[in-house]
Amino acid sequence: MSTKRFLAVTISLLVVLSGCGDGSRNGGDDLEDPRPISVELEAELEGWLSEHGSEPCEYVIGLFADHDVVLLGEQHRIRHDALFVQELLPRVHAAGVTVFATEFARREDQRLLDSLVVDTAWREDLGREIIFRQFMPWGYREYVDILKAVWKVNLDRPRGSAPIRVLGLNNSYDYTHFRSESDWDDPEIWKLVTAGQTEEDWAEPVLDAVRGGAKVLLHSGIHHAFTGYVQPRVQDAKFLGVGQKRLGNFIREALGSRAVTVFLHAPWNGPVGYNADFVHPADGRLDAFMLSRTDGPFPVGFDVEGSPLADLHIEEAVYKHGHEPFTLSGFCDGWIYTKPVSEYEPVTYIEDWIDDANLSRARMNAMNPRWRDFSVDEMHEGCKSYMEDFRRFFGRLR
| Residue ranges of domains in the chain | 3-392
pLDDT band at 20 (very low <50, low <70, confident <90, very high): very low
The sign one gets for the Cα dihedral 165, 114, 250, 230 is: positive
Judge whether residue 16 has pLDDT over 50. no
Task: Quote the pLDDT of residue 26.
Answer: 34
Pairing of β 216-221 and β 69-74:
parallel
Residue 351: how many CB atoms within 10 A of its CB?
A: 10
- What value, to the nearest 5°, has the Cα angle with vertex 334 and ends 131 and 312? 130
**Closest of 11, 21, 94 to residue 386, by C-alpha:** 11
Helix, strand, or coil here: 169? strand
Q: What is the pLDDT of residues 353-363, one digit of tens each?
A: 999 999 999 99
The mean pLDDT of 1-28, rounded to a whole number, is: 40
**φ and ψ at 135, to 5 degrees?**
-155, 110
Cα-to-chain-centroid distance, residue 135: 14
Asked: is 3-392 a CATH 3.20.20.370 domain? The reply is no
d(CA 346, CA 358): 25
Task: Quote the pLDDT of residue 33.
Answer: 81
34 secondary structure, DSSP code:
P
d(CA 71, CA 259): 7
Task: Quote the pLDDT of residue 390.
Answer: 66
325 secondary structure, DSSP code:
S
**Closest of 220, 168, 175 to residue 16, by C-alpha:** 175
Q: What is the mean pLDDT of the chain?
A: 91
